[in-house]
Amino acid sequence: MELEILTLSKPGGRSRNEDACGVWSNHDACFCVLSDGAGGHGGGDVASKLVVKHALSWFRETPSCSGSAVEAALRAANRAVVSEQGSREALNDMRATAVVLAIDTARSEATWGHLGDSRLYCFRNRCIVAQTRDHSVVQSMVDAGYLLASDLRTAPGRSKLLAALGDAEHFEPSIEPGTLPLFDGDAFLLCTDGFWEYAKEDEMEAALTAATSAEEWLRALEASILKRGRPGQDNYSAIALWCKDPREVTRTY
């Protein structure tokens, strides 16, 4: 399995970008990590960078594409954030979301995990076939029937989280229970809330259908964000990934 990957991270209307994202790969595997920090006074950007750095470091040392590996990488990142909180007062309350995608390119399989409201979308035949569930107050109200799913982007308190990295006592990430077999044309989008707030799911599918590359897909979605954005809008970041199976490519001679 061959992968086409593009990353994007912008400050939006803020003076500081508290998002971070990164990718590491070898001949047999690829790991993507995206994080959105919170905490103020510089704490958010510190937390998100720690998450990406330590999760990818864990994968470099143990390049395993399994649910247990994803959870272990997230736990390593959480320990790093908790440890750094005590280094100075301004970082005491810093937290971060995280979403991790692990792909076994040799076996053409994927798995993932997350904590917070940064999301992963999986697309097949240009349609969403899997999506992470936010660990947020608004998501819990939708689940309970008090709000509609369409309210996730606009409800008051949308950004209030129920869980995030940086909690030493309560750390329960959501991990995909198994691996997903991958096929030619499958795609993934990892994104922070500042991205998905302005890019709706049907638009993600439409942009993917119209695109000829991961870069074209991601740039089209960014155009929607810039068009709808407002002064002072949140940072927005994303990782777009396309799966390509060379065996499925029709060759002409």
CATH number, domain containing residue 167:
3.60.40.10
DSSP letters of 6-68? Answer: EEEEE-TTSSS--EEEEEEE-SSEEEEEEEEEE-STTHHHHHHHHHHHHHHHHHHHS---SHH
**Angle ∠(117,122,126) on CA atoms, nearest 5:** 130
Q: How many domains does the chain have?
A: 1
Mean pLDDT over 67-74 rounds to 97
Is residue 253 in a domain?
no
User: Judging by beta carbons within 10 Å of its beta carbon (0-12, 13-18, 19+), is residue 73 exposed, middle or buried?
Assistant: buried
Structure tokens at 46: 């510190």
Is residue 99 in a domain?
yes
Is residue 218 in a domain?
yes
Say yes or no to pLDDT of 251 above 60. no
Mean pLDDT over 140-166 rounds to 92
Is residue 251 in a domain?
no
Calculate the average pLDDT of the chain.
93
Residue 178 main-chain phi, psi, to 5 deg: -140, -165
The residue segments making up the domain with residue 210 are 2-246
CA distance 38 to 204: 26
Sorting pLDDT into bands at 50, 70 and 90, what band is 250? very low
Say yes or no to pLDDT of 170 above 60. yes
Say yes or no to pLDDT of 244 above 70. yes
* pLDDT the model gives residue 150: 86
CA distance 101 to 240: 11
Q: Which of 103-107, 178-182, 201-205, 248-252 has the lowest mean pLDDT?
A: 248-252
* pLDDT the model gives residue 249: 46
CA distance 100 to 59: 11
Mean pLDDT over 66-78 rounds to 97
* pLDDT the model gives residue 252: 33
Place of tokens 């982007």: 153
Is residue 30 in a domain?
yes
Q: Which residues partner with 243 through β-bridges?
A: 3
Say yes or no to pLDDT of 248 above 70. no
Is residue 252 in a domain?
no
Residues 51, 98 contacting (CB under 8 angstroms): yes
Is residue 142 in a domain?
yes
* pLDDT the model gives residue 98: 98
CA distance 51 to 219: 25
Place of tokens 């959870």: 71
Sorting pLDDT into bands at 50, 70 and 90, what band is 230? confident
